[in-house]
Structure 1
Amino acid sequence: MFAKFISNSNDTSLLTATGASEADFTLFGQPARQGRWLFIPLGILVLLCLGTVYSWSIFRKPLEAELGIPTADSLLPYTFALVFYAALMPITGFVIPRWGSRRVLALGGSIVGLGYILASFANTIGWVTLSYGALAGAGVGIAYGVPMVVVARWLPDRKGLAVGLTIIGFGLSPLITAPLANYWIEALGVRSTLRLLGILFGVVIVALSTQLKLPPTDWIPVRAESIPAQISGHFSSHSSALFKTRSFYGLWICYAIGTLIGLSAIGISSPVGEELIGLDPTLAASSVALFAIFNGLSRPLFGWLADHFQPHQVATGSYGLVILACGLMMVSPQGSLVSYWVAFSLLWFCLGGWLAMAPTLTLRLFNPARYAQNYGVVFTAYGVGALTGTMITGQIRDWLGSYSYIFYGMAVLAILGILVANVFLREMMVEAK
């Protein structure tokens, strides 16, 4: 007995066998049901490389000194990176089914590497913004969705847990890549570091792209009964008309609110620690590392919860934690370190949760065969939340003179999210009966 792969034009692996059952299908030298789990660590490695975009603060000070630019200008590459990352992600969702996962990931990885390398030669902040921000950010957007699509297709019976585990790589990347980048900057300089990272990321992602392939279109685990049912056959049958479903608008709004709150919290974590709690900059930075751990750990947990509970219940639980965090910051006396740590750990925890819930719920609510396209559309909520959150928090601080007022707005948004989830996502389940 033997089995082999033949790849079609879309890179979807078609299994052919001579006298072999699906149980004989192997991956990485193991039976497919065991070998498929290895796609998760491969995806984590890809996202560890891509998540370095969140480590921009490591490069800011050295570039400010080299280029002679103010702090406001040094934020431009990071802002552009977020914009292009959010803009390209929806587009590539429609490209993956046509080009295949391996080609898309190799393209994205190559663009990321090229962006870093070109940034190492830039002599003005404008060229750094175009190379690191626009080009590398676009590469991140192109490559980001591929690992999630691959693991979701290979593990339909554990999709929430699988996606949540995979995207740990993106959330925890700053904890691993930032110290590495900082060490190289001190030893070699900022330009050589950007160049080395570009080469490293390009080579690693392109190499991993050869392994991250999609399963046969009709492949399911042997124990197919373990696959969670779609919440509604009505909705899954109309997934091509995504905008006609009430559940899409509920999920989109909830995702936008979750990311707006979470990314706002990320942006003000260190300044709040210094201004409201009275921490020195070193301890404030160390606190951010603690928060990042919670941001990563929440992803597999919320992915699992999204697999096993109804959408409105998981969303309500997340927003409830946000309200608790905001309440701690509202009522605790200024300088309360414990309240600060607990509150921001919860806020980062909930952001990581939404980055796992949104793709998992997209799989549950809509046709899994169109997951790449559907999540690309849903992901636009992340872009809206990111841009709105980063702009609003700064304005509130400038207008009212303190970050403390931001927590009242976050609490109101969380209450709005609970209402939307319980009307739109609960209503979806009623229609499905």
Structure 2
Amino acid sequence: MSSVADSTRGTAPAPFFSKEATIAPPGFSRWMVPPAALAVHLCIGQAYAFSVFNSPLTKVIGVTQSSPDDWTLTSLGWIFSLAIVFLGLSAAFGGKWLERVGPRRTMFTAACCFGGGFLVSALGVYLHQIVLLYLGYGVIGGIGLGLGYVSPVSTLIRWFPDRRGMATGLAIMGFGGGAMIAAPLSVMLMKHFSSDTSVGVAQTFVVLGIAYFISMTIGSIAIRVPAPGWQPAGWTPPATSGKLVSRSHVHIDQALKTPQFYLIWLVLFLNVTAGIGILGQASVMIQESFKDTVTAGAAAGFVGLLSLFNMGGRFVWASASDWVGRKNTYFIFFVFGAVLYYAVPQFAQSGNIVFFVLAYCLILSMYGGGFSTVPAYLADMFGTAFVGGIHGRLLTAWAAAGVAGPVLVNYVRAYQVAHGVAKADAYTMTVHIMASLLVVGFICNLLVRRVDEKHHMSDAQLAAAGK
């Protein structure tokens, strides 16, 4: 609105990447925003397919088989962990910047970092310097992941105040579904570029980096924010929507002084830890659990299927939370997730690949649902005025889980194999630990209560903050 007013006074229009330039004109359809969010989240969701590179990266020198100078799975596991760590850190520090500069500039910065991270990683593969993969995909790419992740979420919550769960599901389901595209695409590209002297990873990284930069840039150009005071036609904010839902707002910094923030932090951390380690090693895990039965191509299909349930769960569970409540939704995640984790080793030992795959698909649907439900949980607890920044800071839980989950899976497995446990049975102890974490998460969620009114902002404070 301000840019229109400025133009009528004869002043220069707002810079293209400024927050003012993204304010939607009257009559703009809010349904144009989800595709812009998906253009970014489908790209950064590639992180969930990174496991398809693990096996080829252990053969960069040997090509057909690992040589003594090739990288090990444990050293490669830190690439994914670093990416998740810097996702959480950049989201935490960038959330406040997002509130100031708007989603367009933040999303374009994410495009530069994520696409550029692939190019640096390609150089690392070519030179066989793993530090460049840590820097490229882990640090630079991780920053792109964090900025790209939080940018559309708060925007869609403001466009859909009447359907917060559905809105966050729309924003985040693309991140879960990105691997569904990236896994088979990456395998196809590596096969195309492979030769007697190359596994094709470096060339694949270059193609993906360029493609993702273009798609994310298009999303940043298309994004719009609602004008101040905008509401959906015919919608009136309800007096209250439940025991935990508040119409008041809490400042970003004040939210960190509430016990609710830390309880929800633990809820997210424990839910993510229980799923992310398995997801990061999904391709290798199913091949080792069903040796001589599951090929590399079938394992890539398994990763893609997990991505489909991860994506679908983000929309379905978050939308369902509009009806059953955020707290009750997490109760479902923790109870059924723990039961399924305890059952998975029995499915593997009996050779029942159908139940094995189905169990992990359900687990990953609830894992994804946890991500898409938590922004609406935060909006219910702390209001929508600063939900983008609060959500960004909460994602440090994801960063911590990005280390804890893969470390549990990789190093517990390595320890067991070193002590004579068959590879097919090496994940049993790990999944039992994951189930126990979900039980702790159930208790943390049980303790969540409504935010005390002393933390709420007054109308004068909101006006001073430009909200």
TM-score range, shorter chain: 0.7 to 0.9
Distance 1:431 1:417 in 2: 26
Name the SS for the 2:386 alignment partner: helix
Rounded to whole Å, the distance in 2 between the matches of 1:166 and 1:160 is: 10
For 2:11, the equivalent position in structure 1 comes to: none
Question: TM-score, normalised to structure 2's length?
Answer: 0.80
| 1:4–1:15 CA contact under 8 A, matched in 2 | no
- Check if 1:396 corresponds to 2:412: yes
Q: How does 1:204-353 map to 2 (within 5 A)?
A: 204-225=215-236, 229=240, 231-233=244-246, 236-237=249-250, 240-278=253-291, 280-282=293-295, 283-329=298-344, 332=347, 334-353=350-369
- SS of the aligned residue for 2:236 comes to helix
CA 1:240–1:80 in structure 2 vs 1: closer, same or farther (change >3 Å)? closer
Q: What does the per-residue CA deviation read over 1:358-398, in whole Å, with 9 as the maximum and x for residues that have no partner?
A: 11211111120101111011111111122111112233334
Answer yes or no: is the 8 Å Cα contact 1:242–1:248 preserved in 2.
yes
Query: Equivalent pairs: percent with the same residue?
Result: 24
Q: Please list the CA deviations of residues 152-207 of structure 1 after superposition, one character each: whole Å capped at 9, or x if unmatched.
A: 11111112112212222111112212322333333344333322222222222223
Cα distance 1:284–1:169, how it changes in 2: closer, same or farther (>3 A)?
same
C-alpha distance in 1, partners of 2:397/2:405? 12
Aligned-partner Cα distance in 2 for 1:5–1:215: 16
Name the counterpart of 2:120: 118
Q: Residue 428 of structure 1 aligns with which residue?
A: 450
Gaps of 5+ in 1: 17-24, 28-34
Residues 99, 273 of structure 1: alpha-carbon distance in 2 compared, 3 angstrom cutoff = same
SS in 1 for 2:351: coil
Which among 138, 142, 149 is matched to residue 143 of structure 2? 138
Letter in 2 for 1:336: N
- Shift of the alpha carbon at 1:115? 1.9
Q: Distance in 1 between matches of 2:5 and 2:345?
A: 59
Q: For residue 98 of structure 1, what is the amino acid of its counterpart?
A: R
Q: Contact 1:276–1:334 at 8 Å: present in 2 too?
A: no
What corresponds to 2:45 in structure 1?
51
**Alpha-carbon distance change, 217 to 229 in structure 1, aligned in 2, over 3 angstroms:** farther
Q: Cα 1:277–1:185, aligned 2, differ >3 Å: closer, same or farther?
A: closer
Label 1:279 to 1:246 Cα distance change in 2 as closer, same or farther (>3 A). Answer: farther
Give the alignment's Cα RMSD to 1 decimal.
2.9
Aligned AA (1:273) = I
CA distance in 1, matches of 2:23, 2:284: 53
SS of the aligned residue for 2:410 comes to helix
Q: Which whole-Å CA distance do the structure 1 matches of 2:210 and 2:82 have between them?
A: 21
CA distance in 2, matches of 1:80, 1:410: 21
Q: Distance in 1 between matches of 2:105 and 2:239?
A: 30
From 73, 82, 94, the equivalent of 1:80 is 82
Aligned to 2:460: none
With over 3 angstroms needed to count, the CA separation of the structure-2 counterparts of 1:139 and 1:13, relative to structure 1, is closer
8 Å contact from structure 1 (residues 80, 129) kept in 2: yes
Higher RCO (CA-CA < 8 Å; seq separation 6+): 2
Moved more, 364-373 or 48-57: 48-57
**Is the Cα contact below 8 Å between 2:168 and 2:373 reproduced in 1?**
no
- Confirm or deny: 8 A CA contact 1:277 1:340 kept in the other structure: no
Structure with the higher helix share, 1 or 2: 1
- Equivalent positions of 1:34-113 (< 5 A) are 35-67=29-61, 69-72=70-73, 73-113=75-115
2:354 counterpart of 1:354: no
Q: Is the contact made by 1:262 and 1:350 (CA closer than 8 Å) also made in structure 2? A: no
Which of 155, 158, 161 aligns to 2:163? It is 158
Q: CA deviation at 1:262?
A: 1.1
Residue range with higher mean Cα deviation, 169-178 or 237-246? 237-246
Q: Which residue of 2 aligns with 1:22?
A: none
- Contact kept in structure 2, 1:157 and 1:227, CA below 8 Å: no
Match of 1:167 in 2: 172
Q: Which runs of 5+ in 2 are unaligned?
A: 7-13, 62-68, 194-199, 455-467
